Amino acid sequence: MALSKLSGDEQGIILGQLRNKLEPRLAMYFSSANKELRALLPPAVQRQLRTDYEAATALCLKVGMQGCKELREAWMIDWDEKSLSASDLATLATLGSVLPALKCLTLAELSGSAGLDGVPRLAKGLVAGALPALDKLNIVNLHVGDAGATALAAALDRGALPRLRCLSLYLTAIGDAALAALAPALRRRPALTRLSLGHNPFGDEGLAALVAPPPPPAGTPPPPAGGLKQLKQLDLSNTQITDAGCATLAAASRFDLLHLERLDLSSTQITDAGCAILVAALDSGALPALEELRLVGIPASVAATDAVRKFFLRKRSKALAASISEKRARCNHV
């Protein structure tokens, strides 16, 4: 079908697919061979395409890549201590729709060069469908805060990072308000299997928003289906969680966290009372899939943490006995 037969919107969609910021020659080649496309690529658009390509090239060179081709084909990016600025992260966001192979992205800084608005600008620039293959996102020592958490939640809800399963926000200034802003979007991602929120200043209030959101007011529709039912690893270490957070986790496990295998509560504010809550909950069948619970560096006594350890020893002994019994039954049947 001739392009002249298509509507202006349809022609625009075609050209939009060709306007790849990492390979602008495609748009130039096709538009030079077709007058309908050429009309959609006026000089101002050509200049913008050139500017975007130059910005992408500069970013690639800054992080040690040979050029845009390497970035376009990358399946893993680990940009650790690259002195990324907020503008660099904004540029990366604009490339989200032209990085189809990228599965793992790590952004880590010690210098704080991206400032307070780096992560918000990154998240705001991620359009629907951006980073379509990304499975794992690690953000380390970049300021997320309230603004970044809100922007990231909005990006997830509009369809960015559609295949995200593992999210790490480590040392990112996430307090109670920030986690409360991000939590609903995370709970609407049922495929999430690993969540690391270590070294952040949130406490029991933020945890409750994540794993046990309050019921909706009477007369309002129920919240969307979702939850953290497929989550297998949850890192809450070095946060301000207290014994009240243990009670929240125990209560939430009745309908959430059903597949959680590893839970890290190290260097939190949990005392003997919190350990007792966890042991009682585990004994009653809470967190049925849990295999490892880390409580290193908490103010609880050795006796209290030993009680938790002994529970897992008993659990492993029972599992081993059940496995042996099953094997004997199969042998006898044969």
> C-alpha angle 272/277/283, rounded to 5°?
125
Which pLDDT score, from 0 to 100, does residue 262 have?
95
Say if residue 143's pLDDT is above 50. Answer: yes
Residue 15 has pLDDT above 60, yes or no: no
* Residue-level pLDDT at 154: 98
Task: Band the pLDDT of 293: cuts 50, 70, 90.
Answer: very high
Give pLDDT, residue 314: 84
DSSP state at residue 159: T
pLDDT tens per residue, range 36-63: 555 566 666 667 677 788 899 999 999 9
Q: Any idea where the domains of the chain sit in the sequence?
A: 1-69, 74-173, 193-211+227-329
Mean pLDDT of 187-212: 95
Comparing 44-58, 149-163, 247-261, the range with the smallest average pLDDT is 44-58
Confidence of residue 1 (pLDDT cuts 50, 70, 90): very low
3-state secondary structure at position 73: helix
Higher confidence at residue 289 or residue 270?
270
pLDDT score of 271: 98
At residue 29, the pLDDT reads 47
For 223-256, letters b (16+ CB in 10 Å) and e give eeeebbebbbebbbbbbbbbbbbbbbbbbbbeeb
Domain 193-211+227-329: CATH superfamily is Ribonuclease Inhibitor (3.80.10.10)
> Among 229-238, 244-253, 265-274, 319-328, which is the least confidently predicted range?
319-328
Which pLDDT tens digit goes with each residue over 203-217?
999 999 999 876 666
Q: 138: which strand partners?
A: 106, 168
Question: Can you tell me the mean pLDDT for 303-325?
Answer: 77
Residue-level pLDDT at 110: 83
Q: How confident is the model at residue 136 (pLDDT cuts 50, 70, 90)?
A: very high
What confidence tier does 323 reach under pLDDT thresholds 50, 70, 90? low
pLDDT interval class at 279 (50, 70, 90) = very high
Average pLDDT, the chain: 85
Instruction: Specify the higher pLDDT residue, 198 or 43.
Output: 198
Is the distance from CB of 124 to CB of 155 less than 8 angstroms? yes
State how far the Cα of 26 lies from the Cα of 304, in Å rounded to an integer.
65
Distances (CA, A) of 93 to 1, 42, 59, 160, 180: 34, 25, 12, 10, 24
- Say if residue 34's pLDDT is above 60: no
> CA distances (Å), 242 to each of 76, 201, 203, 207, 281, in order?
37, 12, 7, 10, 16
Q: Is 132 exposed, middle or buried, given 0-12, 13-18 or 19+ CB atoms closer than 10 A?
A: middle
In this prediction, residue 252 carries a pLDDT of 87
Treating both helix axes as pointing N-terminal to C-terminal, what angle do 243-252 and 272-283 enclose, rounded to 10 degrees?
10
